[in-house]
Amino acid sequence: MRISELAQESGTPVATIKYYIREGLLPAGTPVNARQSDYGTQHLERLRLIRGLMNVLGASIEQVRDVIGVIDQPDQEPWEAMKFATEAIPAPHQHEEPGISRARAVLERLGLPCSPEHPAVRHLDSALAFAEEIGMAMSAEQLAVYVEAARRTARADVEHIPWQSREDSVRQAVLGTVVYEPVLLALRRIAHRELGMAHYEHHDGEQELAPSSPPEG
């Protein structure tokens, strides 16, 4: 397809496509003549990936380039690809504090091994510190529930990795790491709303059924 057709199919302006090519995010098309190149489905898929990373995850051009760089190196192990993807687009955190003492203690207590150098350990420590600072420190029981939910989610992710192909497994590992997290957060908030509404309706119904006090006098 011509670049104008690629633009129409992907919903991306021609000027933006050319910019992505110059920045190395999108491979150039196959030259047909001196003024025209041909583009295929791989270009369309890459454009959709770029727009998703930028529009959904808020990734910068540099972060998108890092993620794509990991995907374009299928000779590495999927676990290493996951680590690189996490470093490329780090999880948001509201509080910065040096050290990982809280996170390490929690991970050791709950039997969740992880290298101290992993970016997620620093993010966890920052989040725990922020929770303590505002008087909302998480109990051991609450953290245990979170860890179990995280393990079940991670297990579902790993089970969907196509191990038969190293290239496909690396791509799935990278994109599963950075793309599925917003899905998980959105579903958690929807579940909060569902449980909150059920709790409200239950207690509202109890108040309606409660007998009124007899009049005084």
What pLDDT was estimated at residue 92?
A: 55
- 24 vs 18: CA distance, rounded Å: 10
Q: What residues does each domain of the chain span?
A: 1-55, 56-206
- 159 vs 154: CA distance, rounded Å: 9
- 20 vs 201: CA distance, rounded Å: 51
**Could you give the C-alpha distances from 74 to 120, 164, 174, 205, in angstroms and in order?**
23, 13, 11, 58
What pLDDT was estimated at residue 83?
A: 72
What pLDDT was estimated at residue 99?
A: 62
The pTM score is 0.65
CATH architecture of 1-55: Orthogonal Bundle (1.10)
Provide the 8-state DSSP code for 1: -
- 129 vs 100: CA distance, rounded Å: 10
- 176 vs 78: CA distance, rounded Å: 11
Provide the 8-state DSSP code for 92: P
What pLDDT was estimated at residue 1?
A: 92
Scanning the chain, the segments in alpha helix (DSSP H) are 3-10, 14-22, 41-55, 61-71, 78-88, 101-109, 119-133, 140-159, 166-209
Residues of the chain where predicted confidence (pLDDT) is lower than 50:
93-96, 217
